[in-house]
Amino acid sequence: MIWLKIPYAQIAEWMCFITSILLLTSAKPKFWQYFIPYLAITVGVETYGYYTSHYMHIKNNHWMYNIFLGVYTVFHIFIFYKIIHLKHIKILSIFFLTLLMSVYFWEWQHQGFNHFFFRTNTLFGALITCLSILYFYNLFTQNNDIELSTSASFWFATACLIFYATSTCVNALFLEALKGSYLRYIIIVLLNLIMYSCWIKSFLCIRKAQNSI
């Protein structure tokens, strides 16, 4: 099937990366600007991984994704630390990061870098889902009225909740049942398209907010 050979996720990542360059170069608060280097690393890793697996036929590039997983983890927790305005969010963020790094180094010690850190990735997805829910709790318990359609953090958290809650369930509960199935591929592609579309929307919200000042 030719349509299965199209790298939909990589295309969405590149679109998101290019949009971040166009819209976030002078974004305020400044932490939104960190999406640019993060997405640059993301598209670099994902594009290289796609190229080596499909054209160079190198099947084991888990070491690269394991290294990227560390960047992936720190970045997401940092962004949630910035957008959740609760009293103990700093302590919670440090705890989550410490827990993830503990599992990360445990897997490194016991299986090396040539096997994907599945436990770390699954735990990461579960914790990001929790942080997304915590963000919405914080959002709806605030006294200030917020226009959700123009809130950058709302679209970021929405994307993370949809992507990580669904992908974590699929990978943790149905991985064996869906192994080798086109269904899992379709689900992951759709989740990537939804997530990066929401992120692009959040970048547009930031630019709109800046232009209105």
- Segment 9-31, tens digit of pLDDT: 899 999 999 999 999 999 999 99
Q: What average pLDDT does range 27-49 have in this prediction? A: 95
Mean pLDDT of the chain: 90
> Distance (Å, rounded) from C-alpha 79 to C-alpha 14?
20
pLDDT value, residue 178: 59
- Helix (H) / strand (E) containing 200: helix 182-211
pLDDT value, residue 121: 93
pLDDT value, residue 40: 97
> 């009293």: which residue's tokens?
87
pLDDT band at 7 (very low <50, low <70, confident <90, very high): confident
Helices of type H across 57-151: 62-83, 89-111, 118-140
pLDDT value, residue 176: 60
**pLDDT of 213 strictly over 70:** no
pLDDT value, residue 44: 95
User: Which tens digit of pLDDT belongs to each residue from 89-115?
Assistant: 999 999 999 999 999 999 999 988 888
For the chain, give every domain's residue range.
2-208
The number of beta carbons lying within 10 Å of the beta carbon of residue 56 is 10
Dihedral of alpha carbons 50, 56, 60, 61, sign: negative
pLDDT value, residue 148: 87
**Count of residues in the chain:** 213
pLDDT band at 54 (very low <50, low <70, confident <90, very high): confident
Distances (CA, A) of 6 to 2, 48, 189, 197: 7, 15, 10, 18
pLDDT value, residue 18: 97
Dihedral of alpha carbons 64, 69, 72, 78, sign: negative
| Structure-model confidence comparison of residues 175 and 208, the more confident one | 208
Distances (CA, A) of 124 to 2, 41, 82, 160, 172: 33, 19, 18, 11, 12
User: Which tens digit of pLDDT belongs to each residue from 145-202?
Assistant: 778 889 999 999 999 999 999 998 887 766 665 566 677 788 889 999 999 999 999 9
Phi, psi of 55 (to 5 degrees): -115, -30
